Copies of this chain bind each other. A is one copy, B any other.
Amino acid sequence: MKTTILIHCPDQSGIICSVTGFIHAQGGNIIYIDQHVDKESNELFMRLESEFSLENFTMVGFQERFKNDLAEKFNIKWSIHTDDIKPKMALFVSKYNHCLYDLLSRYNSGELTVEIPFIISNHDDLSFVAEQFQIPFYHIPVTKKTKEEAENKQLVLLKKYQIDFIVLARYMQIVTNKLINEYPNKIINIHHSFLPAFAGAKPYHAAFERGVKLIGATGHYVTEELDAGPIIQQDTTPVTHTHTINDFIAKGRDLEKIVLARAVKLHIQRKTMVFRNKTVIFS
């Protein structure tokens, strides 16, 4: 059984030695360890991939011993994940289909080890894509008036299907705190600019107006402040004076889908940790 353990605690002498020794003592074989110390806060972040033989390992027993032998002593916040359980990912979309197509084709190819119980959209335009891939599609319109009601419907679905995390694949609505608080650092958005430049609406128009020579895309966790959450992935591509706004939009689509897919994969692989509105991205 392959396990991934994420650890976060104050850095302290002997911690790496203690953790690796513990895994060893439990009969685990460490395959990969990656760690980071935030120098400002002196906080340690660690990710361990270990292999356990099934006869020696029970999740409950391991968790209890980790808690008693390590977590309390070193004040560790931690989580353990096994690869026999696929996380459940909900997709929120609006009218643009490039990110949706990209994620669903990766999903169909087995590249994303998740379940996708459903797609939610405030428009009906992309129901045909959901049909193509035989994923349930819920059309939940959102207006100023119905926003709260719509969000409640979304929450009902999210709970019913025990969704683990949400991907906003060019969902053009602002998500409110109610949803964010239910899914802290578990809602991934793709913003079509190199944040913090051009936060908010119409970033390609703003980029065109400013005359930049690069456009970008940013995959980030959604927090209360719009487009200001922890950044997971960013990339840029060159543009020139010959490109119109429509060219920016077309070139940007390629960036958006690749950057979003990378962010989603890092999340699925448990390679992201969040601290003080920044991410640690393990290799």
Binding site for B on A (CB under 8 A): 13-14, 16-17, 20-21, 23-24, 29-37, 39, 97-98, 101-102, 105-106, 108-109, 111, 132-133, 194-198, 210-214, 216, 230-236, 240-242, 244, 250, 253-254, 258, 261, 277-281, 283
Q: Which listed residue, B21, B23, B98, B210, touches A105 by the CB 8 Å rule?
A: B98
Contact A231–B250 (Cβ < 8 Å): no
Contact A244–B36 (Cβ < 8 Å): no
List residues of chain B with CB within 8 A of the CB of A132: 132-133
Check A283/B283 contact, CB under 8 A, given A17-B24, A234-B214, A258-B258.
Answer: yes
Check A233/B258 contact, CB under 8 A, given A105-B98, A196-B197.
Answer: no
6 closest residue pairs by CB, A with B: A211-B278, A101-B105, A197-B197, A17-B20, A213-B234, A132-B132
Contact B196–A214 (Cβ < 8 Å): no
Query: Besides the contacts A32-B37, A216-B236, A236-B236, what 9 more A-B pairs have beta carbons closer than 8 Å?
Result: A14-B24, A17-B23, A33-B35, A36-B241, A102-B105, A195-B197, A211-B231, A211-B277, A258-B258
Q: Which listed residue, B31, B34, B105, B233, touches A213 by the CB 8 Å rule?
A: B233
Contact A214–B211 (Cβ < 8 Å): no
Task: Give the nearest-CB partner of A39 in chain B.
Answer: B244
Number of identical protomers: 4
Q: Can you list 19 contacts pairing A with B, beta carbon distance less than 8 Å?
A: A16-B33, A17-B23, A31-B37, A33-B33, A97-B105, A98-B109, A102-B105, A132-B132, A194-B194, A194-B216, A195-B210, A196-B198, A196-B210, A196-B212, A212-B234, A213-B232, A214-B216, A240-B283, A254-B258
- CA separation between A33 and B35, bound complex, in Å? 7
- CA separation between A27 and B194, bound complex, in Å? 44
- CA separation between A36 and B33, bound complex, in Å? 9
Contact B231–A278 (Cβ < 8 Å): no
List residues of chain B with CB within 8 A of the CB of A105: 97-98, 101-102, 105
- CA separation between A17 and B25, bound complex, in Å? 10
A121 to chain B, nearest CB (A): 16
List residues of chain B with CB within 8 A of the CB of A14: 24
List residues of chain B with CB within 8 A of the CB of A109: 97-98, 101
- CA separation between A14 and B102, bound complex, in Å? 42
List residues of chain B with CB within 8 A of the CB of A24: 13-14, 17
Q: Which listed residue, B20, B244, B278, touches A20 by the CB 8 Å rule?
A: B20
- CA separation between A244 and B35, bound complex, in Å? 15
Check A283/B242 contact, CB under 8 A, given A21-B21, A111-B250, A211-B230.
Answer: yes
- CA separation between A93 and B30, bound complex, in Å? 41
- CA separation between A230 and B98, bound complex, in Å? 29
